[in-house]
Structure 1
Amino acid sequence: MSPAPTAVAFFDIDNTLLKGASLFHLARGMHKGGLVSNRDIARFAWKARHFARHGENLSHLDEIRARATELASGIPVVRMDALAREIYDRYTESALWPESVALARQHIAEGHEVWLLSATPQVLAGLIAERLGLTGAGGTKLVEVDGHLTGEIDGKLMHGAQKAVIAAEIAERAGVEPGECWAYSDSLNDLPLLNFAGHPSVVNPDRGLREHALANGWPILEHRGDRKRA
């Protein structure tokens, strides 16, 4: 049996572990597969560029998420799984921030559990964790009926306060106190998660989170160097 973890680290994905929105990578893959129109992908691309430059805009991301899940309606689950793997190889891997990947792997090397918590669909969040050798991921789950996606969200969106709820559950299962948890995010919307962890750090923070981190003496990490394949 593996020894019990001494700590748990939680990483956001978008603009924390990789540049921009992972959901846009999913949309690109769906477009390549003929599941997303040119008009949709152009609109998604504009909003994704805005996110990468200026940080999280909830109305933009909600629109992309709602439209992407709608377009996923009727897709066989096995096809979406295969598509997620193609998307990772084609788009996601090259967008990873190497400094963030190294930090996550350092936690693993020290015997910590490392979980990704993201509003991106579970199929993609879980695959990123798998490929990077991390403990696991909590993403937004989609409803499946008879082996097909319905275009609806199963349960709550993995965002904001919900991340803190799931982080608390994971830490409890691991037998780790909040004071021995680490959290990394770029967005002020993740304050519930950052406040839950005894060791919060901000990565490529948006303006609001940067100001909050400075006021509270939190570490500020700038992981914007040249990207490379992990």
Structure 2
Amino acid sequence: MSDVSRGPATGRPYLVFSDVDETLITVKSMFDFLHYQLVRRHGVAGEEEYERIMAVVRRRAGDGTPRADINRLYYGHYTDESVETIGRLAEDWFAERTASGRGFYIESTREALTAHRAGGATVVLVSGSFPPLLEPLAREVGADAVLCTRPLVADGRYTGEVETPVIGAGKAAAVLRKLESRPDVDPRDCWAYGDHVSDLPMLELVGHPVAVGEDEELRKRLAERVKEVTA
């Protein structure tokens, strides 16, 4: 991972965008939480329900279903769930996952974000996950904003529908809107962190994209981008 301790040499204000699942934390938050809450509420039956859901997800992914559609499929499982109940379960999930102090965060990314914040950057989390899981995380790492998928709510319950999933192109669109809201910031001074090639549209919007993990396609595409910029 690149050295981020100094931030942009110009001293100008800048933004840092970080994907969450397998970039900042070691788990896929949506599915880790789904398993947690189903088992906590329903025991063995919850474990069986989780395996049934995951079998469908794996089959859809294997068939080439777009990640944004899988994102929508996921939130369909919260249809008619109480927002308050899910929020309480999410706080408990986060407390349990972080209680040991080890194994939940990808420490190199967390340290990078801490260094950026110390340098005066605005830190923004960007994720296909949803607010109950991301807001405790944002508080913990000191993120200034969260751009994420937002399930629709009616009468205090999730409808099972979502606004535009913040995945792939949706992630890039959310980041672009954030950049446009900050005319004082030059995107070339900004940083972004991601772990999957689907993060590439977001990473290409900033001057300092960083690949986390071992996605060979992502690393190859970013290396090609650097060559084009420096040619």
TM-score normalized with structure 2 length: 0.78
In structure 2, how many angstroms separate the alpha carbons of the residues matched to 1:82 and 1:209?
36
- Return the offset for 1:30: 1.8
1:9 aligns with 2:28: no
In structure 2, how many angstroms separate the alpha carbons of the residues matched to 1:14 and 1:208?
18
In structure 1, how many angstroms separate the alpha carbons of the residues matched to 2:34 and 2:131?
14
The equivalent of 1:54 in structure 2 is none
The equivalent of 2:83 in structure 1 is 77
- Return the offset for 1:44: 6.0
Q: In the superposition, relative to structure 1, how do residues 27 and 195 fare at CA in structure 2: closer, same or farther (>3 Å)?
A: same
The equivalent of 1:22 in structure 2 is 29
1:142 to 124, 140, 151: 151
The equivalent of 1:165 in structure 2 is 173
In structure 2, how many angstroms separate the alpha carbons of the residues matched to 1:128 and 1:44?
25
The equivalent of 1:184 in structure 2 is 193
Q: In the superposition, relative to structure 1, how do residues 47 and 201 fare at CA in structure 2: closer, same or farther (>3 Å)?
A: farther
- Return the offset for 1:21: 0.9
- Return the offset for 1:28: 2.1
Is contact 1:47–1:60 with CA below 8 Å preserved after alignment? Answer: no
TM-score normalized with structure 1 length: 0.78
The equivalent of 2:39 in structure 1 is 32
In structure 2, how many angstroms separate the alpha carbons of the residues matched to 1:190 and 1:176?
21
Q: In the superposition, relative to structure 1, how do residues 69 and 89 fare at CA in structure 2: closer, same or farther (>3 Å)?
A: same
In structure 2, how many angstroms separate the alpha carbons of the residues matched to 1:144 and 1:191?
30
- Return the offset for 1:108: 0.9
- Return the offset for 1:33: 3.5
1:91 aligns with 2:97: yes
In structure 2, how many angstroms separate the alpha carbons of the residues matched to 1:180 and 1:34?
46
**Most deviating of 189-198 and 207-216:** 207-216
User: Percent identical across equivalent pairs?
Assistant: 25
Where does structure 2 lack aligned partners over 5 or more consecutive residues? 1-11
In structure 2, how many angstroms separate the alpha carbons of the residues matched to 1:120 and 1:76?
17
**Most deviating of 60-69 and 189-198:** 60-69
In structure 1, how many angstroms separate the alpha carbons of the residues matched to 2:66 and 2:204?
25
In structure 2, how many angstroms separate the alpha carbons of the residues matched to 1:191 and 1:207?
12
- Structure number, greater radius of gyration: 2
Q: What amino acid maps onto 1:212 in structure 2?
A: R
Q: What amino acid maps onto 2:80 in structure 1?
A: G
1:102 to 97, 100, 111: 111
